[in-house]
C-alpha cells in the first residue's frame, strides 16, 4: 500500500484497469455474431489443437490457435469474451507505457497526456467491435504484439548497457512483430511506426537515415514474413479477390470518404455501425475534392510540425499510418469497419491527452482549465457509459442486426440477416417482412429469396 500511495504511475494503471473492466463487464452477455459463425462456430479447424495443427500452414495461424485454445477450454462464450477483454486491458497498459515514453521526449510533463490518451483508448465505444465482437480479436491481439514490439524497442533506447539494448532491439522487438504478423497482416506498418517514434524526439534531431537504420531488425522480419506468405496459395487467392473488388483508382477515391467516415466515428460515437453501407466513388466530386484537400493539408501540417511540434505530428501521422493497410491502396469487400480504428485511435487520443496536459501546465488559464478538465472528465465518463451500452447490441443477433438496419436502412444484407435471426427466434411474420425488404433493396439478393421460400415451406398449411 505505501508504494501504491507514493507511485502515481501505479495508481494510473490501477485506474485504467478498473475503468476498462467497468466499461466492459456488459460484454459478457454477448453472443456469436456475423463472421463468428463462419470463422469459429462452423469451422472445425479451430475446434481443437489437433485440428488446428492439421490445418497448418495457413493464414493467421496465431489468431486461429487462440480460437482453438478457447474452444477446447470448454468455457464457451464466457471464455472468448474473457480473452478478448484481457487482451484489450493489456493493450491499454501498453499504450500508457508507450505514450509515457513519448511524452518524456516531446514536451508535456507528468502523466496527464498518456493517462488521458490511454483512458480514451480504453473507453471509446468504437473499440467494442474489436473487443466485444469475438472476431474483432484479430485487431486487438495483433495490436498487443505490435505495441509490445514498439515498447521493447523504446525500452532498448533507455538501456545504458549495450547487451540489454541489443537484446530488446534485435530479439524481443522483432519476435513480438513476428507474432503480430502471425495474427493479422495489418501489423506490417509496425516498422514504420517505429521510425515515426524515432523521428518524434524534441530532445535530439534524429535523421531519417538513422531512424530507418534503427528499424532494420523489424524490416528483416517483415521481409521474411512476406516471403513466407508468398508461398501460401490462400494469400494469393485473397489478393486476387481484393484486386477484383474494385479498380485501384476507384478504391482511392472511395477511401477518401472511408477515412472521413472513420474519423467521424470518433466524434459521433452514437452512429457506430457493425455493417456500414458506404457507396463506391468512381469519379471526383466536390465533396471528394474537399476531403482530398483536408487530408492532404493535415499530412503537410504534420510533416511541417515534425521538428517543432513532434507531439502533434505523431498524433496525425499515427492515425493515417495505422489506417493505411485497410484504407488506402488495397481494395476490400467492406469499405470500412469500425474495428479498423482500434490502433489508429491512439493518434487522436494522444492529441486529446496532449491538449489536456498543455492546459494543465498553462499558468494564465486557471478558470478555463477547471472548465475544460470538468468537460474532459464528463466526456470520458460518457464514453465509458456509451461503451457499456454499445456492448448490449452484441447480446443477440436480433439486437445486432436491428441496430445495423436502423443505421443503414439501405443495407440488404442487414435486412436479410435480421430476417434470418427473427425466423430462428420463431417470429415468422417479422422475418418475412425483413426478407421482402431485403429483396426490395436488392432484387438479386438470392440468399434472402431462398430464405423467404424456406420460411413459407416451414409455415402452417
Question: 156 with 164: CB under 8 angstroms?
Answer: yes
Per-residue confidence (pLDDT) for residue 364, from 0 to 100: 59
- pLDDT (average), residues 203-227: 88
Helices within 324-411 (DSSP H only): 341-344, 346-361, 366-391, 397-407
Contacts of 267 (CB under 8 A, 6+ apart): none
- Host H or E run for residue 236: helix 233-243
| pLDDT band, very low/low/confident/very high, at 461 (cuts 50, 70, 90) | very low
374 and 438 belong to one structural domain: no
Is 303 a residue whose pLDDT tops 90? yes
81 and 192 belong to one structural domain: yes
Is 289 a residue whose pLDDT tops 80? yes
How far is Cα 275 from Cα 408, in angstroms, rounded to an integer? 8
- pLDDT (average), residues 194-211: 84
| End position of a domain, from candidates 376, 395, 414 | 395
| pLDDT band, very low/low/confident/very high, at 214 (cuts 50, 70, 90) | confident
Of 126 and 242, more confident: 126
| End position of a domain, from candidates 395, 421, 441 | 395
Q: Where in the sequence is the domain holding 48, given as residue range(s)? A: 2-395
287 and 429 belong to one structural domain: no
44 and 126 belong to one structural domain: yes
The residue among 143, 125, 183, 93 whose CA lies nearest residue 388 is 125
Per-residue confidence (pLDDT) for residue 457, from 0 to 100: 65
294 and 439 belong to one structural domain: no
Cell of residue 42, nine digits: 462452423
Domain of 439: which CATH number?
A: 1.25.40.10
What is the CA 209 to chain-centroid distance, rounded?
30
Is 238 a residue whose pLDDT tops 90? no
372 and 229 belong to one structural domain: yes
271 and 414 belong to one structural domain: no
Q: What mean pLDDT value characterizes the chain? A: 91
390 and 422 belong to one structural domain: no
3 state DSSP class of 203: coil
Is 3 a residue whose pLDDT tops 80? no
For 306-329, write each residue's pLDDT tens digit: 988 999 999 999 999 999 999 988
For 10-62, write each residue's pLDDT tens digit: 999 999 999 999 999 999 999 999 999 999 999 999 999 999 999 999 999 99
How far is Cα 307 from Cα 204, in angstroms, rounded to an integer? 10
Is 287 a residue whose pLDDT tops 90? yes
Whose cell is 426478407? That residue is: 435
375 and 432 belong to one structural domain: no
| End position of a domain, from candidates 377, 395, 413 | 395
How far is Cα 66 from Cα 131, in angstroms, rounded to an integer? 14
| pLDDT band, very low/low/confident/very high, at 119 (cuts 50, 70, 90) | very high
143 and 282 belong to one structural domain: yes
Whose cell is 464514453? That residue is: 383
| pLDDT band, very low/low/confident/very high, at 347 (cuts 50, 70, 90) | very high
Count up the domains in the chain and report the number.
2
Of 364 and 187, more confident: 187
Question: 386 with 268: CB under 8 angstroms?
Answer: no
Per-residue confidence (pLDDT) for residue 248, from 0 to 100: 86
165 and 298 belong to one structural domain: yes
Is 460 a residue whose pLDDT tops 50? no
325 and 288 belong to one structural domain: yes
Measured CA angle at 295 (ends 290, 296), to 5 deg: 95
Amino acid at each position: 500500500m505505501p508504494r501504491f500511495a507514493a507511485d502515481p504511475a501505479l495508481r494510473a494503471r490501477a485506474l485504467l484497469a478498473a475503468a476498462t473492466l467497468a466499461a466492459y463487464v456488459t460484454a459478457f452477455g454477448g453472443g456469436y455474431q456475423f463472421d463468428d459463425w463462419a470463422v469459429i462456430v462452423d469451422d472445425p479447424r479451430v475446434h481443437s489443437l489437433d485440428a488446428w495443427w492439421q490445418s497448418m500452414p495457413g493464414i493467421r495461424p496465431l489468431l486461429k490457435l487462440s480460437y482453438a485454445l478457447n474452444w477446447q477450454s470448454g468455457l464457451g462464450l464466457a471464455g472468448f469474451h474473457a480473452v478478448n477483454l484481457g487482451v484489450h486491458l493489456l493493450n491499454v497498459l501498453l499504450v500508457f507505457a508507450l505514450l509515457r515514453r513519448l511524452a518524456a521526449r516531446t514536451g508535456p510533463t507528468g502523466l496527464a497526456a498518456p493517462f488521458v490518451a490511454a483512458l480514451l483508448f480504453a473507453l471509446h465505444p468504437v473499440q467494442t467491435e474489436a473487443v466485444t465482437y469475438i472476431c474483432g480479436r484479430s485487431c486487438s491481439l495483433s495490436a498487443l504484439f505490435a505495441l509490445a514490439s514498439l515498447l521493447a524497442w523504446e525500452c532498448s533506447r533507455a538501456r545504458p548497457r549495450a547487451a540489454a539494448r541489443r537484446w530488446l532491439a534485435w530479439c524481443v522487438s522483432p519476435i513480438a512483430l513476428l507474432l503480430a504478423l502471425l495474427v493479422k497482416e495489418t501489423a506490417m506498418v509496425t516498422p514504420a511506426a517505429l521510425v515515426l517514434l524515432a523521428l518524434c524526439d524534441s530532445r535530439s534531431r534524429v535523421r531519417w537515415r538513422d531512424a530507418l537504420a534503427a528499424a532494420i531488425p523489424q524490416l528483416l522480419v517483415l521481409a521474411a514474413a512476406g516471403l513466407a506468405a508468398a508461398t501460401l496459395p490462400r494469400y494469393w487467392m485473397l489478393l486476387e479477390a481484393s484486386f477484383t473488388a474494385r479498380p485501384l483508382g476507384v478504391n482511392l477515391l472511395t477511401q477518401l470518404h472511408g477515412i472521413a467516415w472513420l474519423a467521424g466515428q470518433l466524434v459521433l460515437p452514437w452512429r457506430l455501425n457493425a455493417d456500414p453501407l458506404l457507396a463506391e466513388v468512381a469519379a471526383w466530386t466536390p465533396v471528394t475534392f474537399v476531403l482530398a484537400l483536408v487530408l492532404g493539408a493535415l499530412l503537410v501540417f504534420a510533416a511541417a510540425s515534425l521538428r517543432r511540434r513532434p507531439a502533434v505530428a505523431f498524433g496525425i501521422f499515427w492515425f493515417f499510418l495505422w489506417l493505411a493497410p485497410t484504407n488506402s491502396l488495397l481494395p476490400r469487400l467492406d469499405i470500412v469497419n469500425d474495428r479498423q480504428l482500434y490502433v489508429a485511435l491512439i493518434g487522436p487520443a494522444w492529441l486529446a491527452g496532449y491538449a489536456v496536459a498543455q492546459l494543465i501546465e498553462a499558468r494564465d488559464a486557471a478558470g478555463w482549465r477547471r472548465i475544460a478538465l470538468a468537460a474532459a472528465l464528463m466526456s470520458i465518463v460518457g464514453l465509458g457509459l456509451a461503451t457499456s451500452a454499445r456492448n448490449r447490441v452484441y447480446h443477440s443477433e436480433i439486437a445486432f442486426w436491428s441496430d445495423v438496419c436502423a443505421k443503414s436502412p439501405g443495407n440488404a444484407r442487414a435486412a436479410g440477416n435480421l430476417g434470418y435471426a427473427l425466423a430462428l427466434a420463431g417470429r415468422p411474420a417479422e422475418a418475412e417482412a425483413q426478407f421482402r425488404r431485403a429483396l426490395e433493396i436488392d432484387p438479386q439478393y438470392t440468399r434472402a429469396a431462398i430464405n423467404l421460400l424456406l420460411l413459407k415451406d416451414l409455415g402452417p398449411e
